[in-house]
Amino acid sequence: MELFDSLLIFIADFLGQHLYEGIFFAALIETVIPPIPTLAIFPTAGFLAAQQGISLSGVIPMILLGGTGATIGTTIIYLIALKLGRTVLLRYLQNFRISEKKLERVEIWFEKYGDKAVLNV
């Protein structure tokens, strides 16, 4: 079994045993470790909540905890990127054959259309 598959199984098991804490930590982890899809976490949590018969008043804390975990995870990624800077980014992107020139083209495009692109996502 691959690492990614075993990580998803671990998250599903953790959510089953610790639903509220699991949603917080899963949302935090999925924003820090990009390959973990959000669609694997929140539908699983919703399914488990329905199986456990959790009412709407019990679902609201799940939503808040998921949002808080994702916000903290996004803040962590932002602070890491802010600290490491462009030099580390360029070094990392070269592994994927993305040059500095391509990055500059993306930055120019994002400065021109970024607000509309982010709004539409």
> Is 71's pLDDT higher than 90?
yes
State the burial class of residue 59 (Cβ atoms within 10 Å of its Cβ: 0-12, 13-18, 19+).
middle
Query: How confident is the prediction for the chain on average, in pLDDT?
Result: 83
Q: Which of 62, 77, 86, 64 is nearest to 29 (CA)?
A: 77
Each residue of 14-33: pLDDT tens digit?
Answer: 777 888 888 898 888 888 87
Each residue of 46-61: pLDDT tens digit?
Answer: 888 888 888 888 889 9
DSSP characters over 54-67: --HHHHHHHHHHHH
Q: Which of helix, strand or coil describes residue 36?
A: coil
Out of 36-50, 58-72, 75-89, 92-106, which region has the weakest mean confidence (pLDDT)? 36-50
Q: Backbone dihedral region of 53: left (phi > 0), alpha (psi from -120 to 50 degrees) or beta?
A: left
Q: What is the pTM of this model?
A: 0.69
- The whole-number pLDDT of residue 72 equals 95
Q: What percent of the chain has pLDDT over 70?
A: 93
